[in-house]
Amino acid sequence: MEFRSILLGFSLYLVYFVDIVISRHTSSFVRSEWPSTDIPLDSEVFAVPKGYNAPEQVHITQGDYDGKAVVISWVTTSEPGKSEVLYSKEEHKYDRTAQGRYTNYTFYDYTSGYLHHCLVDDLEYDTKYYYKIGTGDSAREFWFQTPPAVDPDAPYAFGIIGDLGQTYNSLSTLQHYMHSGAQSVLFVGDLSYSDRYEHNDGIRWIHGAEYRPELGEVATFKPYLHRVTTPYLASKSSSPMWYAVRRASAHIIVLSSYSPFVKYTPQWWWLKGELQQVDRERTPWLIVLMHAPLYNSNEAHYMEGRVCGPRLRVGLYNIKLTSSLRAMFTPTRDRTVSLTSTTT
């Protein structure tokens, strides 16, 4: 299946700054009763690509600040193979090559596959590119579309997915996105869950939640940092956990709910500087992504965003973005709390 989605972040919180919001209409979707049914591991949707050492788990992320580069990532399981991408603007006629790198990591008795990341840059805006990874009969071919140039009138459709999981509902979410007409997906975190698997081998989520200090592992987000590449240096960030990109008519800021956020910390200083870079004349849409909502009444995560919430609200308010603010959306909870409220 051709893959054309751009992965842009790890988080679960979305703020839209818009001039006009129509709130009279909502979805007719009705959530099924918890718990939803996990997809079995032998399902066709989890099928491994055919061929020896074939690239799998292929995904792409924006590779620079303004959308003229991508990072193509994939996994090989038997041996490293080549971290090389062949690409061109014509299908099957690959006239350009980009060299990447690979890494892997261990956790307790688990060793990951070979994780490849390859930067493809100097691309043209609003252009379809074809690319090929792997070698011989195991090679795989895909395509992607670059965004239009950064411009206030550039139309662009984002899909938003958070807390995906590995259930039939998860599959339905992906299918809805694929048929939505969206051009990129803002994936906002939490890939899989170990609910109801207390004494299981962990195969489903071993790459997503490997943190057990009692075993001597102290590096939080180790799997994420190995498997996901973010263009943090392009926005002068000191950490891949927080960064910013511009895409079409949107300025997108990704923050970390689980890194220090108080005044004078690295993330605080970076956000202060990045907010000053927002140019509403060029990017009228400002999207802020976080994992923890600024406010929620969900008993499972009650007040989880309390620490960073008030500081972020004050910061956004003080740079006078509120002249265009009409709504704040979160995928799951308490969407009607005012952004300017700093006491809740």
Residue 204 inside a domain? The answer is yes
Joined together, the tokens standing for residue 58 give 């292929």
Q: What angle do CA 74, 80, 83 make, to 5 degrees?
A: 55
Residue 323 inside a domain? The answer is no
Residue 144 inside a domain? The answer is yes
Residue 334 inside a domain? The answer is no
Mean pLDDT in residue range 247-260 = 89
What was the pLDDT predicted at 315? 61
Joined together, the tokens standing for residue 314 give 């004050």
What CATH number did the domain enclosing 20 receive?
3.60.21
Residue 280 inside a domain? The answer is yes
Joined together, the tokens standing for residue 126 give 């609003």
Higher pLDDT, 124 or 261: 124
Mean pLDDT in residue range 316-334 = 46
Q: Are 135 and 82 in contact (CB under 8 A)?
A: yes
Residue 328 inside a domain? The answer is no
Mean pLDDT taken over the chain: 79
What was the pLDDT predicted at 1? 41
H-helix or E-strand spanning residue 179: none
**Number of domains forming the structure of the chain:** 1
Q: Which domain holds residue 186?
A: 6-318
Residue 1 inside a domain? The answer is no
Residue 34 inside a domain? The answer is yes
DSSP notation for 178-213: HTTT-SEEEE-S-----TT-TTS--TTTTTT----G
- Check the CA dihedral 317-246-271-337 and report its sign: positive
What was the pLDDT predicted at 340? 55
What was the pLDDT predicted at 137? 93
Q: Look up 301 and say whether it is catalytic.
A: yes
Q: What is the three-class DSSP state of 83?
A: coil
Which range of 89-93, 319-323, 324-328 scores highest in mean pLDDT? It is: 89-93
pLDDT in tens, 197-247: 665 555 555 544 444 444 444 466 888 888 889 999 999 999 999 999 999
Among 79-88, 170-179, 316-325, which stretch is predicted with the lowest mean pLDDT? 316-325
Per-residue pLDDT band at 288 (split at 50, 70, 90): confident
pLDDT in tens, 93-142: 999 999 999 999 987 778 899 999 999 999 999 999 999 999 999 999 99
